Amino acid sequence: MKKLIIPLIIILALFGCSRNRVRRTMPVERRMELANHYYDAGKYRRAIEHYTEVVFDRSSIHTPLAQFRLAESYFNMGRYAESVFEYRELIRLFPDFREINTAYFRIGEAYLNQSSNPHYSQTETVAAINAFEVFLDRFPFDQKRNQALEYIQEAQYKLLEKKYYNGYIYYKLFDYSSALLYLDEIIALGNHNELDRKSRYYAALIHIEREDQEKAGPMVESMREYYPNTRETNRVVRLYNRRF
């Protein structure tokens, strides 16, 4: 049995080497054709395999498109970190590529798609904002301009959510001074939305708990003005009247 196994292993090894040799010597045009076939069929894993080989051939006329579609393949698979790297390689190596604007835009999208729930670190959210701002600076009249602005607003709102949760956590820990640092920053924006309502609510509770009528009064009145007949407003009004 051992005598049969050894030759079989050798045959398989030789077959593997032969197959790899064929792949390495495949004409770049044929490899690009296969890559595009898999890409168009949505088989991005197979497309990546061939686009990577084309990208290694820096002298080919197909390399810029292969680099772009390599990044797009990673993006479409949800492998955003790899896509950002490949888009940046495209920008570095082929800054005049016809779809270079899309590469800049996709970097912002990739970071935004990687961003965490507002309860956690927002490093990727900040990176997304920066990426979209670079895109707008370089391509101010691009057709994706409005979408980039919407993404920036979405990311900025997420950062505000993070600030609110920070304030809320400090409130629950009875660290009122730290809580107010975050809540007051949101209130100062004057957006009059859900985050503003909740921030005013907890800020009012803190001032009432501290028996600081000078700050509690205006905060309660602002809730009456902007958010009448809400559960939060009715509660702080009752607490304020009972305390003062």
- Measured CA to CA, the distance from residue 244 to residue 235 in angstroms comes to 14
Asked if residues 125 and 160 have their Cβ atoms less than 8 Å apart, the reply is no
pLDDT tens profile 123-147:
999 999 999 999 999 999 999 999 9
pTM, to two decimals: 0.82
Residue linked to tokens 């001074």: 177
Question: Long-range contacts of range 125-129, CB-CB < 8 Å, 24 or more positions apart?
Answer: 125/155, 125/158, 125/159, 125/162, 126/155, 126/159, 128/155, 129/155, 129/156
* H/E element, 239: helix 231-243
Classify 140 as helix, strand or coil.
coil
The number of CA neighbours under 13 Å toward the Cβ of 35 is 27
- For residues 168-205, b (16+ Cβ closer than 10 Å) or e, as one string? bebbeeeebeebbebbeebbeeeeeeebbbbbbbbbbb
pLDDT of residue 158: 96
Q: Which residues, 6+ apart, have CB-to-CB distance to 243 below 8 Å?
A: 208, 211, 216
26-94: what CATH class? mainly alpha
pLDDT of residue 24: 58
Q: Which segments in the chain show pLDDT lower than 50?
A: 1-6, 8-22
- Measured CA to CA, the distance from residue 91 to residue 23 in angstroms comes to 28
pLDDT of residue 46: 97
CA distances from 103 to 56, 96, 229 (A): 19, 11, 48
Classify 41 as helix, strand or coil.
coil
pLDDT of residue 26: 82
Quick one: how far is CA 214 from the chain centroid?
A: 42
Which ranges of 1-144 would DSSP assign to H, the alpha helix?
2-24, 28-40, 44-56, 63-76, 80-93, 100-114, 123-138
CA distances from 119 to 48, 116, 122, 189, 241 (A): 34, 8, 9, 21, 34
In degrees and rounded to multiples of 5, residue 15 shows phi and psi of -65, -40
